[in-house]
């Protein structure tokens, strides 16, 4: 596939102000204003080509979704995907509950104010397998501290990966950071494709290769923790 020159991609993104946010720091504390409503905001960090965020935005129209990536070309690909899935609902419509933001996750606290978002999805984050790169893993405690700050009282992190070593590292990191984990799975699609969960591009590829997908949910906000405490033993009845 021939990729367009960088200049062409930037022009393309600049022409999509209804969907693409090239300077997301200016919306810190004002994302609800940008969406035009107070619905919960769910964010995918490192969305790639946007299959997950697009599918989720259709499945949950009453949630606002923000997809984040650091590459212009991926934002462009995700914008095409989001428009395509929403076009199937209504021709020419701007996806009403989606924004695609260009930023580096290292600067996430400059993009969101404290308590501004309700859920973070980490899907197939780069595993950074070398020990000396552990600090770059998106589930490292130095990131968890930032996520805790921007998540609200109902806040949760939902994490999926094919990498057993990243999963092991992450479970330990969540535990060491004092976070409650739930719905842990070592093989999400053990009984066939689990339709409850929207798949990402990487997930489709890895499942096609017969690989196991690991998943867990992490409870961060105080209200979410209270709700979890009240319901946790019910599933064993």
Ligand X SMILES: C[S@@+](CC[C@H](N)C(=O)[O-])C[C@H]1O[C@@H](n2cnc3c(N)ncnc32)[C@H](O)[C@@H]1O
**Quick check: 110 binds ligand X (CB under 6 A)?**
no
The minimum distance between CB 47 and ligand X, in angstroms, equals 5
Q: What are phi and psi of 217, to 5 degrees?
A: -110, 145
| Exposed/middle/buried for residue 228 (C-beta within 10 Å: 0-12, 13-18, 19+) | middle
Segment lying near ligand X (by CB under 6 A), choices 88-96, 110-118, 123-131, 167-175: 123-131
The minimum distance between CB 46 and ligand X, in angstroms, equals 2
**Which residue number, 37 or 165, has a Cβ lying nearer to ligand X?**
165
**Quick check: 201 binds ligand X (CB under 6 A)?**
yes
**Which residue number, 116 or 203, has a Cβ lying nearer to ligand X?**
203
64-69, strands of its sheet edge to edge: 20-21, 98-102, 64-69, 41-45, 117-123, 151-161, 214-219, 180-185
Tokens coding 208: 């096609």
Q: Are 123 and 52 in contact (CB under 8 A)?
A: yes
**Which residue number, 33 or 106, has a Cβ lying nearer to ligand X?**
106
Query: What DSSP character marks residue 130?
Result: S
Q: Are 15 and 94 in contact (CB under 8 A)?
A: no
Of 38, 126, 176, 191, catalytic: 126
Report 12-71 residues binding ligand X (CB under 6 A).
46-48, 68-71
Q: Which of 65, 86, 124, 167 touches ligand X (CB under 6 A)? A: 124
**Which residue number, 106 or 168, has a Cβ lying nearer to ligand X?**
106
Q: Are 147 and 220 in contact (CB under 8 A)?
A: yes
| Residue 126 annotated among the catalytic residues of the structure | yes
- At how many degrees (to 10) do helices 72-87 and 51-59 cross? 30
Render 14-29 in DSSP notation, one character per residue: HT-TTTEES-GGGGTT
The minimum distance between CB 126 and ligand X, in angstroms, equals 5
Question: Which residue from 90, 120, 111 is spatially nearest to 25, judged by alpha carbons?
Answer: 111
Q: Which of 66, 74, 78, 216 touches ligand X (CB under 6 A)? A: 74
Q: Are 72 and 6 in contact (CB under 8 A)?
A: yes
Q: Which of 54, 64, 123, 170 touches ligand X (CB under 6 A)? A: 123
Binding mask 75-104 for ligand X (x = CB under 6 A): -----------------------------x
**Is 104 annotated to bind ligand?**
yes
**Is 27 annotated to bind ligand?**
no
Residue nearest to ligand X (CB): 46
**Is 187 annotated to bind ligand?**
no
Active-site residues, by number, are: 126
Residues within the interface to ligand X (CB under 6 A): 46-48, 68-71, 74, 104-106, 123-124, 126, 200-203
């Amino acid at each position: 596939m021939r990729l367009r020159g960088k200049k062409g991609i930037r022009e393309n993104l600049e022409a999509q102000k209804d969907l693409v946010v090239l300077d997301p720091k200016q919306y810190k504390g004002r994302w609800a204003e940008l969406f035009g409503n107070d619905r919960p905001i769910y964010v995918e960090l490192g969305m790639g080509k946007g299959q997950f965020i697009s599918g989720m935005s259709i499945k949950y129209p009453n949630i606002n979704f923000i997809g984040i990536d650091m590459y212009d070309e991926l934002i462009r690909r995700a914008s095409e995907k989001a428009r395509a899935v929403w076009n199937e609902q209504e021709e020419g419509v701007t996806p009403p509950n989606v924004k695609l933001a260009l930023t580096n996750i290292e600067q996430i606290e400059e993009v969101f104010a404290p308590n501004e978002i309700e859920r973070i999805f980490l899907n197939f984050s780069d595993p950074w397998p070398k020990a000396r790169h552990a600090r770059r893993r998106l589930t490292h405690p130095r990131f968890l501290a930032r996520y805790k700050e921007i998540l609200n009282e109902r806040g949760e992190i939902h994490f999926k990966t094919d990498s057993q070593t990243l999963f092991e590292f992450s479970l330990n990191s969540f535990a060491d950071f004092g976070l409650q984990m739930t719905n842990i799975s070592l093989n999400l699609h053990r009984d066939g494709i689990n339709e409850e969960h929207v798949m990402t591009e990487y997930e489709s590829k890895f499942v096609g290769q017969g690989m196991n997908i690991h998943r867990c949910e992490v409870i961060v906000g105080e209200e979410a923790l209270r709700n979890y405490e009240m319901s946790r033993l019910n599933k064993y009845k």
